[in-house]
A = this chain, B = another copy of it.
Amino acid sequence: MKVVKFGGSSLATGSQLEKVLEIVKEDATRRIVVVSAPGKRYEEDMKVTDLLIACGEKKLAGEEIGNLIDTILERYVNIAKELDLSNEIIAKIEEDLLDVLNADNTNKNAYLEAVKACGEDNNAKLVAHFFNAKGVEAVYVNPKDAGLIVSDDPGNAQVLPASYDRLYSLREYKPIVVFPGFFGYSEKGDVITFSRSGSDITGAILANGVKAELYENFTDVDAVYSVNPSIVSSPKEIKELTYREMRELSYAGFSVFHAEALIPAYRAGIPVNVKNTNNPGVPGTRIVASRNNTNGPVIGIANDKGFCSIYISKYLMNREVGFARRILSILEEFQISYEHMPSGIDDLTIILREEQLAGKNEQEIIGRIKEELQAEEIVVEHNLALIMVVGEGMRHNVGTTARATKTLADAGVNIEMINQGSSEVSMMFGVKEPMAKKAVKALYEEFFSQKSLQN
């Protein structure tokens, strides 16, 4: 049994839904379909979820919503018309939309959560209706009925462990189950949404619950690429990578997939297959627990900007038991989480995301560290980028670090920071932001160009 999730762009138009139907029909083991809300049809289009949020917020603010509801409904109507569906389903969606948007909104959070979720919910109903109309027996299943119960944490719901056992009974359905992504229900019965990539999370939870053999995640790209295609054109596609590699890449800017979304699948050891709705014949990218290393030491190169560093030095720092712990305690008081902490003998550097410092009093934090730890020098540096060179094959590969650092040197990129633990699934370089693209290009050339792969 496979759980198949389709993203917003795979469900934006009637012709996209036809592709989805073909994909589901093609493999009899695709029994559970998780759907997002209709996404963008073209670059400047708006996603249904964004329209819903705009509408809900206007309602809450007591502002005029104009023809927003019509605009939203039209998205479903257009799809239904394109697919020759009956008015019955549109009437149903309209009724639900009006119910949700005109509901009592004394509890603002609960109101917005329900509004946000109805994009997926109605789309699931539409898709199920469409499947049935085309002779493929399907049934819409609501998360509450299926027992998908989550923590009462709006916008950041965590699945409650008891859900998994209940979800197992989804296996019993004869028709194909069409399930809305992005939300579950709290124990007291309120709609609660997941964080961004919420439909990916629903798919992973269902895959875990029904003990699927595979979790297929259909997007609009052929594969996860080995490097950001906006930096290197037509980069190599990744055929297979491990959860850990995916996690390291997604940490540093790979946005195709949020690694957190994978956790339920990861915990159950279920492979994930990222595929393209618009090109379902290509095998896509498989994310697995372990893989054979056949493609050289490096599988991907990621980069992310928006980091800063706090450099702290004090003569004989390393003789002071608890020095680093006290710094981290101060940061924790300010609710700041840090990323890395490379250290010399008498200095250490804390790498953190700029957003962690934003809105906080940088001077106050520096002052506290300076005073309480009697640090001699503290320097904050902004506009750093992190570059991650990722690959399980780097473990025990003597030359990879040398190749990477030489490549950066030859490209004239100064390395501000290197952080390499004993895991060696990744190597991390800190560089100044303006250097990042140049660095990534050079590293890609070194590890992925035809020339280097022949070596």
Contact = CB atoms under 8 A, between A and B. Distances in A.
Interface of A: 243-244, 247-248, 251, 259-260, 263, 266, 309, 311, 313, 315-316, 318-319, 321-322, 324-325, 328-329, 332, 335, 337-349, 379, 381, 396, 398-399, 401-410, 412-423, 425-428, 430
A414 B398 CA distance: 5
5 contacts: A263-B315, A266-B315, A322-B328, A348-B421, A399-B409
B260 A421 contact: no
B417 A417 contact: no
Nearest to A411: B398
A329 B325 contact: yes
Contacts of A335: 321
Contacts of A322: 328, 332, 337
A410 B403 CA distance: 11
B342 A426 contact: no
Contacts of A251: 318, 345
Given A343-B419, A381-B422, 12 more contacts: A251-B318, A309-B422, A325-B329, A325-B332, A341-B343, A349-B422, A379-B422, A398-B413, A398-B415, A402-B406, A404-B405, A419-B420
Nearest to A309: B422
B405 A315 contact: no
A332 B341 contact: no
A132 to B, nearest CB: 39
Given A318-B251, A321-B335, A332-B325, A401 B422 contact: no
A344 B405 contact: no
Interface of A is mostly: mixed
A427 B343 CA distance: 10
A311 B409 contact: no
Contacts of A404: 405
Contacts of A318: 251, 337, 339
Nearest to A401: B405
Contacts of A343: 339-341, 419, 421
Contact of A418 (B406, B414, B420): B420
Interface centre among A318, A399, A410, A421 (most CB of B within 10 A): A421
A432 to B, nearest CB: 11
B345 A342 contact: no
A309 B407 CA distance: 29
Contact of A341 (B247, B337, B341, B420): B341
Contact of A409 (B248, B398, B421): B398
A266 B428 CA distance: 34
A92 to B, nearest CB: 39
Given A251-B318, A332-B322, A335-B321, A311 B422 contact: yes
